[in-house]
């Protein structure tokens, strides 16, 4: 049945997706916070509705293109979670005029000033969260820094809250380390919000998130919303962190065997980095999965095969231990499935999901890219 698909192609197991989504929804709600799914992983309306368990709801976006696309489909409560610049204000203003409620983020006085000036010119008031740096990983203001209050002063009544992303959780060893990062993430934002409130700012929103911390946080006390996206699909990096099992990974790349290099014990496939992405996220983990873990056509890992190297349209598959391959099991044209290191990166190489249910191909869901 998968034989009808031109390879390479991106497969999505709808049942695994539903299970992953239900689990996260229950976890976050059970701990008293609101889930604001990040749509940057899937960039797909159908997937996001499954994540919501509803036709629409609050979302996080990484591009204004995502904001445009999702607003068209009825999602009006949108957080654009990448540092805002003045040149992007008009596009947000246009969404606001059409009825969207788009929030943005800044992490400096300069960015806040630029935003306020451009907003005044565009005649809009854009609710703004201040980004907090909870782990030194990327952007944000360090908890306790005076800059926080200076930014809040500039924002005035457009200050809507604080947010952080604990990207460092991806570098942890396992659940214990992730729990610590999650507590730092919670503590940094909750303390910052309290400090702002003590100075008379309302600061209603306290927003945190990453798939590892959302999965293992002991508490969301003081947190109002959790942003997370990878959990919908899961991937090998998440499995390496203990966030999910290999069997939870909902997407895979369908590939055809196109050649054998018998002296090297290599199988060549037509899924190169164009289909898998160049992401090597498991390289620093305990188990390096190369460019992906190889499964049979039913999605079960097979013979400890991984994609050891990738060219544009060629994947080189070998046993992890370099051992002998029984090539008779993998004739020319045989189908394999490759589990991705990083769901966001691999999915981004494709324009649609071929949806499986009970192992049968049941649908095609579009995804979009661009900015």
- Which residues here bind a second copy, judged by CB under 8 A? 3, 6-9, 40, 62-64, 82-88, 91, 107-108, 110-111, 114, 133, 136, 138-139, 167, 256-261, 264, 268, 270, 273-275, 277-280, 311-314, 316, 331-333, 344-345, 348-351, 369-371
Residues forming a β-bridge with 255:
336
Q: Hey, is 239 helix, strand or coil?
A: helix
> Which C-beta is closer to a second copy: that of 34 or that of 258?
258
For residues 279 and 339, give the distance between their C-alpha atoms in angstroms, rounded to a whole number. Answer: 12
**Cβ partners under 8 Å of residue 8, min gap 6:** 253, 254, 255, 256, 269, 270, 271, 274, 275
> Which C-beta is closer to a second copy: that of 110 or that of 218?
110
CB of 54 to a second copy, least distance (A): 25
For residues 341 and 344, give the distance between their C-alpha atoms in angstroms, rounded to a whole number. Answer: 9
CB of 253 to a second copy, least distance (A): 11
Strands (E) in the chain, as ranges, are 9-13, 34-35, 59-61, 77-80, 101-106, 128-131, 159-163, 205-208, 225-226, 251-261, 266-269, 293-295, 301-310, 315-319, 335-339, 352-357, 360-366
Q: Hey, is 6 helix, strand or coil?
A: coil
How many residues in the chain? 371
CB of 4 to a second copy, least distance (A): 9
CB of 28 to a second copy, least distance (A): 21
CB of 62 to a second copy, least distance (A): 5
> Which C-beta is closer to a second copy: that of 201 or that of 367?
367
| 160 touches 204 (CB < 8 A) | yes
> Which C-beta is closer to a second copy: that of 60 or that of 215?
60
Among 133, 130, 169, smallest CA distance to 151 is for 130
Tokens of 64: 């204004």
> Which C-beta is closer to a second copy: that of 202 or that of 332?
332
> Which C-beta is closer to a second copy: that of 178 or that of 268?
268
| 32 touches 225 (CB < 8 A) | no
DSSP state of 141: B
**Cβ partners under 8 Å of residue 328, min gap 6:** none
CA 313 to chain centre: 25
> Which C-beta is closer to a second copy: that of 169 or that of 224?
169
CB of 224 to a second copy, least distance (A): 23
> Which C-beta is closer to a second copy: that of 21 or that of 275?
275
> Which C-beta is closer to a second copy: that of 114 or that of 220?
114
| 341 touches 279 (CB < 8 A) | yes
For residues 12 and 350, give the distance between their C-alpha atoms in angstroms, rounded to a whole number. Answer: 12
CB of 97 to a second copy, least distance (A): 18
CB of 51 to a second copy, least distance (A): 17
> Which C-beta is closer to a second copy: that of 224 or that of 289?
289
CB of 159 to a second copy, least distance (A): 18
For residues 116 and 119, give the distance between their C-alpha atoms in angstroms, rounded to a whole number. Answer: 5
CB of 176 to a second copy, least distance (A): 24
Listing DSSP states for 56-88 in one string gives ---EEESSHHHHHHHHHTT--EEEE-S---GGG
């Amino acid at each position: 049945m998968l034989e009808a698909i031109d390879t390479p192609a991106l497969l999505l197991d709808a049942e695994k997706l539903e299970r992953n989504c239900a689990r996260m929804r229950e976890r976050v709600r059970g701990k008293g916070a609101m889930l604001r799914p990040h749509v940057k992983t899937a960039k797909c309306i159908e997937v996001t509705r499954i994540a919501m368990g509803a036709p629409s709801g609050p979302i996080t976006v990484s591009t204004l293109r995502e904001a445009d696309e999702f607003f068209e489909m009825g999602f009006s409560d949108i957080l654009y979670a990448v540092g805002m610049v003045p040149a992007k204000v008009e596009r947000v203003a246009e969404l606001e005029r059409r009825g969207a409620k788009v929030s943005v983020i800044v992490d400096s006085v300069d960015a806040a000033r630029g935003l306020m000036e451009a907003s005044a010119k565009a005649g809009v008031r854009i609710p703004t969260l201040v980004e907090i740096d909870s782990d030194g990983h990327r952007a944000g203001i360090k908890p306790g820094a005076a800059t926080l209050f200076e930014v809040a002063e500039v924002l005035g009544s457009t200050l809507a809250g604080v947010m952080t992303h604990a990207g460092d959780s991806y570098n942890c060893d396992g659940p214990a380390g992730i729990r610590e990062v999650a507590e730092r993430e919670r503590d940094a934002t909750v303390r910052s919000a309290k400090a702002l409130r003590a100075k008379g700012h309302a600061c209603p929103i306290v927003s945190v998130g990453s798939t590892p911390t959302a999965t293992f946080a002991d508490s969301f006390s003081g947190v109002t919303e959790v942003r997370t996206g990878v959990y919908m699909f899961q991937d090998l990096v998440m499995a390496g962190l203990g966030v999910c099992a290999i069997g939870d990974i909902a997407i895979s790349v369908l590939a055809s065997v196109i050649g054998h290099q018998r002296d090297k014990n290599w199988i060549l496939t037509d899924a190169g980095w164009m289909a898998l992405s160049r992401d090597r996220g498991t390289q620093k983990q305990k188990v390096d999965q190369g460019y992906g873990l190889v499964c049979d056509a039913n999605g079960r890992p097979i013979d400890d095969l991984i994609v050891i190297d990738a060219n544009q349209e060629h994947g080189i598959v070998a046993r992890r231990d370099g051992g002998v391959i029984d090539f008779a099991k993998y004739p020319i044209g045989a189908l394999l499935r490759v589990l991705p290191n990083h769901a966001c990166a691999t999915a981004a190489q494709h324009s649609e999901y071929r949806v499986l249910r009970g192992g049968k191909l049941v649908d095609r869901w579009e995804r979009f890219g661009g900015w």
